[in-house]
Amino acid sequence: MEFIHTAFIAFLSRKQPPSLLLAYMLIDELLTYLFDGQPHPLDAPMGIWLSSSRRFTAFVNTFHSKIRKKLRATQGTESLIDLRLELETAYLLLHEPALSVVYEPLPIRQSRGPDFAVTYTTSTVFMMEVTRLRTIQDLEERLADMVCSKLAQLPPKQGNVLLVGVETLTLTPDALRAAMLQLQQRVERADAGFVQRYGFRDRADFFQHFGRLSELLVRGSELKSGEPVIGWINPRAKRPLPGKVRTALHRSQATY
């Protein structure tokens, strides 16, 4: 078996037609390719997700090179938890039959973009960026700071969802709504220096980018059964998500 895996990895290392590359890879072969046959903190959850979801297996097959590169490059406990959240989000999205997912859809030559392009049936495409707050101290303030730092990654001609994982979900919908309102009021009152530290020219430039954010979701970094996903719909959004799309999105992230 070791010889077969070695030969298979060598085959994958050469350029192959997309229609042939990894088309019928077994799960254990896929795991061997991703982790080089070595122990890894994410090999167990990846094995569970691959074994329980054909759609996630197809997703990993399609984007095997990107995922392997990230697994090899990611070092440190906190960064690995970040990557786990990112991959788990894809796994959960693909629980919904109406949703399909593309990993890192923007060309590499462009500036950093969202993690996923998500399509609802064939009618609606939105972008999704996944990130994590590594502390819950001053949660509302840190969440607002995170939103500001991510706005530049959101493309202008699509709906955009920002999903933020937190270690312990203590936030309520009212608290999230208040934090986002406070952020907007602060920008309206503050001098240009506040928005310039996030790379925006002035308040108008900030709100132009802020309008790209359709919705903000907050959930626990490790999803637990029955734990809610807290959402906030941006009233300034230029492209809000249709109701059916929001329902499918929320349902995917609230179940395991």
pLDDT band at 106 (very low <50, low <70, confident <90, very high): confident
For the entire predicted model, the pTM comes to: 0.86
249 has pLDDT over 80 = yes
Residue that is last in its domain, among 16, 49, 73: 73
Highest mean pLDDT among 3-7, 24-28, 38-42: 38-42
Number of folded domains that form the chain: 2
Contact 16, 9 (CB under 8 A): no
Are 98 and 69 in the same domain?
no
Are 155 and 49 in the same domain?
no
pLDDT band at 256 (very low <50, low <70, confident <90, very high): low
pLDDT band at 7 (very low <50, low <70, confident <90, very high): very low
Q: What is the CA radius of gyration of the chain?
A: 19
Are 132 and 233 in the same domain?
yes
Are 52 and 171 in the same domain?
no
Residue that is last in its domain, among 30, 53, 73: 73
Higher per-residue confidence, 134 vs 34? 34
Residue that is last in its domain, among 73, 103, 129: 73
Are 105 and 185 in the same domain?
yes
Higher per-residue confidence, 1 vs 177? 177
Are 168 and 50 in the same domain?
no
CA dist., res. 144 & res. 179, Å (int): 7
74 has pLDDT over 50 = yes
CA dist., res. 130 & res. 128, Å (int): 7
* pLDDT, average across residues 17-45: 77
pLDDT band at 33 (very low <50, low <70, confident <90, very high): very high
128 has pLDDT over 80 = yes
CA dist., res. 54 & res. 26, Å (int): 11
How does pLDDT run across 35-64, given as a tens digit for each residue? Answer: 998 999 999 999 999 999 999 999 999 999
190 has pLDDT over 90 = no
Are 17 and 128 in the same domain?
no
Are 53 and 174 in the same domain?
no
How does pLDDT run across 129-180, given as a tens digit for each residue? Answer: 999 988 767 778 889 899 999 999 999 989 999 999 988 778 889 999 999 9
pLDDT attached to residue 21:
46
pLDDT band at 25 (very low <50, low <70, confident <90, very high): low
Are 221 and 127 in the same domain?
yes
Are 66 and 92 in the same domain?
no
Q: What is the mean pLDDT of the chain?
A: 86
What are all long-range contacts of 42-48, with beta carbons under 8 Å and residues at least 24 apart? 42/71, 42/80, 42/83, 42/84, 42/87, 45/84, 45/87, 45/88, 46/87
pLDDT band at 223 (very low <50, low <70, confident <90, very high): low
- Given strand 159-166, what is the order of strands in its sheet? 99-103, 116-120, 124-133, 159-166, 213-220, 230-233
CB-CB neighbours of 249 under 10 Å:
26
pLDDT attached to residue 254:
79
pLDDT band at 15 (very low <50, low <70, confident <90, very high): low
For residue 61, the enclosing domain spans: 1-73
Are 101 and 46 in the same domain?
no
* pLDDT, average across residues 213-236: 85
Are 153 and 197 in the same domain?
yes
